[in-house]
Chain A
Amino acid sequence: MYRQASRLLVRALGGGRPVGRAFSTDAPVAPVEDSAFVEAWKKVAPNLDPPKTPLSFMKPRPPTPSSIPSKLTVNFVLPYQSEISNKEVDMVIVPATTGQMGVLPGHVATIAELKPGVLSVHDGNEVTKYFVSSGFAFIHANSIADVVAVEAVPVDHIDPSLVQKGLADFTQKLSSATTELEKAEAQIGVDVHSALNAALTG
C-alpha cells in the first residue's frame, strides 16, 4: 500500500508520463541477433543457418539507472575461472597504470589498463585482496565494473620468503643483463616482485 503511494501521488499530480516512459524503456528487448548480418547471410548462403554471435550467449546488461545505486556490481574473471561474478560490493580498488584507482557506484565510465598490483574488493567490513599480474578494468556507466586479468592470487597465498628471493634474483639478473631483451625481461621480473613485496608489506 505505502509502497505504491509515491507512484500514485505522482500520477495524481499529473507527472505520470515520465514515470510511464521510464517504465517502457526500462528493459529494452536486446537485439540478440544482428539483423543486417542475418539478412546478408541469407543472401549468400540460403541453405545454411547463420552462425550465432557471442551476444546471443550473454545475459543483457541493465541500462544506466537514473539514480546512482548504492552498490557496485563487480565481475572479476581470469582465463581459468570467474573469481567474482555479478557480486554487489561497496567499492573496488584497481591497480591502474596511472595509480591505484578506487571505484565506487556511479563512477564515470572508464577503460583502465592494469599493472601488477593489488586489487581489493570492499564489501562492508570485509576486504578481499588479490594480487593481479596485468589486464584491463572496464567501468561502465551503469555501475558495473568488469576486471579481466591474466593471473591473480589472493594476497595471503603468497610466500614472503620466495618473493624476497625472486626480487634478489631478478635484481642481480638486471645488473648482469647484456642484451636489450634480457634487460627487459629482468626489468619485468623486478617490477613484479617489487609490486608483490609492496603488496605484502603495505
Chain B
Amino acid sequence: MATALVVVLMVAVIGGSDAAWCVCKSDKSSSTLQKTLDYACGAGADCNPILRNGACYNPDTVLAHCSYAVNSYYQRKGQAQQACDFSGTATLTSTDPSTSGCTYPTSNRDLSPLGTRSISTQVVRNRMKSVKNIQKITKAMKMVAASKLRAVQSKTENSRGLWQPFTALLGDTPSVDVKKNVIVTITSDKGLCGGINSTSVKISKSLYKLTSGPEKETKYVLLGEKGKVQMVRDSKNSIEMTITEVQKNPINYTQVSVLADDILKNVEYDALRIIFNKFHSVVSFIPTVSTILSPEVVERESESGGKLSDLDSYEIEGGETKAEVLQNLSEFQFSCVLYNAVLENACSELGARMSAMDSSSRNAGEMLDRLTLTYNRTRQASITTELIEIISGASALTG
C-alpha cells in the first residue's frame, strides 16, 4: 500500500514538473476553430472521444472539441512546441483542462504508464543529448567565425586608408538634394549574425523615405541574400538589382571593382548612397552611409559654389576634358568606397555571428545544467523508492 502511494506521488511529482497541454484560444471565431479541429483530426489526432457518445463529447462546443483535438495532436507529436500553433489558434497551458469524465492526455501518461518509472529519465536523457549536440554546433560555428574574423579584420583595417583621400577631396554630402538616388544596401548572405542585416535594411528604408519626393526617383541595389529577403516583401517595385554571393571567395579589390562596374552600367544615378555596418569591435557595429555623387552633380555643385565649391580651385591634369576626368574619378571612388564597405560589413557579420554563437552556447550550457539536475533528482528518487521497497518488503517478511 505504502509502495503504491510512493509511486503515485512520484508520478505526480514528475507529471507536475513538465506536464503541458495544448488548448484552443477562446477568442477565436468558431469557424476558425472548426478549421483547426478539422485539420488536427485529419493530421493524426485521436478524435474518437469527441464523437457523439464519446467521453469528451460534453460539453458540446467547438472550443472544447477543438481543444481536445489539438491537445491530442500536440501530445502525439512528442510535445514539440511548434506542434501547438495551428496558425496562432492554439496555445500551451500548464493547467489541466480535463473535466469530469473527460481526461485530456499528457505526455507522461502517454509515454510512461504506471509502473515503468525509469522511462521519464530517458526523456530527460534524450533532451540532454540533443542540447549537447546543439551546443557543440554553436561552439564550432563560433570558432569558425572567430578564425575567419581575424583574417578579414586585418584586411579591413588595411583598407581604411583607401576612401579617406576621396572624402578629403570631395567632402561628405549626405544631405545633397538630387533627383535620382540609388541606395546600395550591403547585407550578408547567411543568417545567425545578430541584428546587422535588419539594421542595414531599416536604415535603407528610412533613407528611402528621406530621399523620395515629388519628381524624384529612388531605387535600391541590394548586396546579399538577407537584405533581398527582407526588402522583397514591401519594396519590390523599387529594387533595381540584387547581387548575392559576394563573399563566396575571399573579398579582393578586383572582384569588387567588377561588381561596382556592373552596378554603374545598370543603374542611372545622381547620387549613390552605400549603407553598411562599420566594424568597431566584436560587439559594436556602426551603421554608416557613404554618399557618392555622379560626375555631373559634382561639376554642378562645384561650379554653383555649393558644398563642393573648393573643388573649383583644383587644376585637373590628364584626360581630354574635365568631365572625363571627373567621371573616372567618381567611378574609381565608388569602387574604392564599395570595397571598404563590403569588407567592413563582412567583418561586422563575423563579429556579430561570433557573439551570437557565444551567447547561444552559453544558453545551451545553462539548459544542460538544469536538465542534469532534473535527471539526477529523478534517478535519485527512483533509487530511494527501490530501497524503500526492498526494506519494507524485507521488514514485512521478518515482521
Interface residues of A (CB under 8 A from B): 34, 36-37, 40-41, 43-45, 48-49, 51-55, 57-58, 61, 75, 77-82, 85, 96-98, 101, 108-113, 115, 135-136, 138, 140-141, 144, 146-148, 150
Is B231 in contact with chain A by the CB < 8 A criterion?
A: no
B329 at the A/B interface (Cβ < 8 Å)?
A: yes
- Beyond A77-B161, A79-B336, whether A58 also contacts B168 by CB under 8 A is yes
Q: With A51-B288, A97-B318 known to touch, is A34 a contact of B168 (CB < 8 Å)?
A: no
Cβ contact of B169, chosen from A55, A101, A146, A150, cutoff 8 A: A146
Say whether B315 contacts A53, CB under 8 Å: no
Which stretch in B87-95, B111-119, B124-132, B171-179 binds the other chain?
B171-179
Flag if A98 contacts B318 (CB, 8 Å). yes
Picked from B159, B169, B290, B336, the residue with its CB within 8 Å of the CB of A138 is B169
**Segment of B34-42, B202-210, B217-225, B365-373 engaged in the interface with chain A:** B202-210
Contact partners of A112 in chain B: CB under 8 A: 316-318
Q: Is the pair B316, A34 in contact by a Cβ cutoff of 8 Å?
A: no
Which of B171, B209, B314 has the most chain A CB within a 10 Å cutoff? B314
Q: A36-B175, A53-B290, A111-B325 are in contact. List 19 more A-B contacts (CB 8 A).
A: A40-B210, A49-B287, A51-B287, A52-B278, A53-B172, A54-B290, A55-B172, A75-B161, A77-B164, A80-B155, A98-B318, A109-B314, A111-B316, A111-B317, A135-B332, A136-B332, A140-B168, A144-B168, A146-B165
In contact, A110 and B317 (Cβ under 8 angstroms): yes
* In the bound complex, CA of A140 to CA of B171 (Å): 13
User: Which residues of chain B in 171-217 are interfacial with respect to chain A, using CB atoms and an 8 Å cutoff?
Assistant: 171-175, 202-203, 206-207, 209-210
Q: Is the pair A44, B209 in contact by a Cβ cutoff of 8 Å? A: yes
Closest 7 CB pairs of A and B: A146-B165, A97-B318, A113-B318, A82-B161, A55-B172, A79-B253, A45-B206
Partner of A54, one of B161, B169, B288: B288
**B253, A44: Cβ atoms closer than 8 Å:** no
List the B side residues contacting A43 at CB < 8 Å: 210
Q: Contacts of A109 on B, CB cut-off 8 Å?
A: 313-315
Q: A79-B162, A79-B336, A109-B313 are in contact. Are A54 and B319 (CB under 8 A)?
A: no
In contact, B319 and A113 (Cβ under 8 angstroms): yes
Tell whether A111 pairs with B329 under 8 Å between CB atoms, given A37-B175, A48-B206, A80-B159: yes
CB-defined contacts of B155 to chain A, threshold 8 Å:
80
For A41, the chain B residues whose CB sits under 8 A away are: 206, 210
In the bound complex, do residue B172 and residue A110 qualify as a contact, i.e. CB atoms below 8 Å apart?
Answer: no
Q: Which of A75, A82, A97: most chain B CB closer than 10 A? A: A82
Bound complex: CA A109 to CA B314 (Å): 5
B346 to chain A, nearest CB (A): 14
Q: Which residues of B from 245 to 274 have beta carbons under 8 Å from A?
A: 252-253
Check if A51 sits within 8 Å of B289, measured CB to CB: yes
> A75 to B314, alpha carbons, bound, how many Å?
18
Contacts A111-B316, A113-B325 given; does A54 touch B163 at CB 8 Å: yes
Q: Is there an interface contact between A146 and B318, defined as CB atoms closer than 8 Å?
A: no
A52 proximity list for chain B (CB < 8 A): 278, 286-289
A36 to B332, CA, bound (A): 27
One digit per residue, 1 when the CB lies within 8 angstroms of any chain A CB and 0 when it does not, for chain B 290-331 equals 110000000000000000000001111111000001001100
Residue of chain A at shortest CB distance from B172: A55
Report the interface size for chain B: residues with CB under 8 A from the other chain: 48
Question: Contacts A41-B206, A79-B162 hold; do A97 and B319 have CB atoms under 8 A apart?
Answer: yes
* Chain A proximity of B192: nearest CB distance (Å): 24
Chain B residues near A144 (CB, 8 Å)? 168
List chain B residues, Cβ under 8 A from A78: 162
Q: Determine how close the nearest CB of chain B comes to the CB of A102; give it in whole angstroms.
A: 13
- Tell whether A138 pairs with B317 under 8 Å between CB atoms, given A34-B174, A79-B253: no
Residue of B nearest to A31 (CB): B172
What chain A residues lie within 8 Å of B166 (beta carbons)? 148
30 sample A-B contacts, Cβ–Cβ < 8 Å, listed by A number: A40-B175, A40-B210, A45-B206, A49-B287, A51-B288, A52-B278, A52-B288, A61-B168, A75-B161, A75-B164, A75-B165, A79-B159, A96-B317, A98-B317, A109-B313, A110-B316, A111-B169, A111-B314, A111-B317, A111-B329, A112-B316, A112-B317, A113-B318, A135-B332, A136-B329, A138-B165, A138-B168, A138-B169, A146-B164, A148-B336
Docked CA distance A31–B102 (Å): 74
Q: B328 to chain A: which residues have CB within 8 Å?
A: 113, 136
| Docked-complex contact B209 and A45, CB < 8 angstroms | yes
Task: Give the distance to chain A from B322, nearest Cβ to Cβ, in Å.
Answer: 9
The reply to whether B165 and A148 form a contact with Cβ atoms under 8 Å apart is yes
**Minimum CB–CB distance for A200 against chain B, Å:** 24
B253 touches A113 (CB 8 A): no
Q: How far is the CA of A159 from the CA of B384 in the complex (A)?
A: 83
**Closest chain A residue to B315 by CB distance?**
A110
Q: Is B167 an interface residue (CB 8 A)?
A: yes
In the complex, what distance in Å separates the CA atom of A159 from the CA atom of B317?
31
Contacts of A55 in B (CB 8 A): 167, 171-172
Closest approach, in angstroms, between the C-beta of B68 and any C-beta of chain A?
Answer: 45
- B354 within 8 Å of A by Cβ? no
**Does residue B339 face the partner (Cβ distance < 8 Å to A)?**
yes
Known contacts A55-B167, A97-B318, A150 near B289 by CB under 8 Å: no
B17 on the A face (CB < 8 A): no
Rounded to whole angstroms, the CA-CA distance of A141 and B162 in the bound complex is 20
